[in-house]
Amino acid sequence: MSPSGKLHVLAHPVVNARLSKLRQTSTTPKEFREGIHDISLILGIEASRDLEEETFKGTTPIGPFTGSVIKPKIGLTPILRAGMGMTDALLDLFPDAQVYHLGIFREKVSLQPVEYYSKLPPNPTVDEVFLLDPLIATGGTACAALNMVIEWGIPVNRIKLLCVLASQDGLSRVQSEFPGVEIWAAAVDPQLTPNGLVSPGLGDTGDRLYNTLKGSD
């Protein structure tokens, strides 16, 4: 793992192999979903290392033991649609987590984020939020989502941004606008295309997850 302040980039051969499969256009929707799930699970495990625990005393047929539970209430905030591909993996880790969907898309000409949906309740009901965005290209969508969560009432130091792939430019923007946010990425690509895309990246992650690419059966 390669930490840089609040940025953590995984350095793991299993993750690298899964990501290489995701970049290939020949990868089927089933394989793509499985790869996103596997990487998200590893991201979630690594990002939750510092969660506060609460201990308790229990008993078994062979004697007493000291156990622990996660103390903070966890909220998962996937950005539609692509973030939904990461949600099940995080629910495997936090089965009691509350899930709040955010709808944000990037306008194709201006590349600016447009908010169209929020499932955040009037007041926060969790202590910590895992913001799920598989691909950070320009960083605009992630920044818009962070603004929504912070305005909702979650402090920036209680938000963990998880992504499967990011560009260096996108991460720099997020870190510049939100220096206190903790970011976990499976990999970082050095450059964007002139159109603001990571290439070879993941393609349209939502379409690949749900097999709605143009020309697909």
Q: How far is Cα 57 from Cα 45, in angstroms, rounded to an integer?
A: 25
Distance in angstroms (rounded) separating the CA atoms of residues 155 and 30: 36
**Structure confidence by residue, pLDDT tens digits, 107-134:** 777 767 888 989 999 999 999 999 999 9
8-64 residue pLDDT tens: 999 899 999 999 999 888 999 999 999 999 999 999 999 999 999 998 888 888 888
Q: pTM of this prediction?
A: 0.89
pLDDT for 138 equals 87
- What is the structure's pLDDT at 97? 97
| pLDDT number for residue 63 | 80
Assign 163 a pLDDT band (cuts: 50, 70, 90). very high
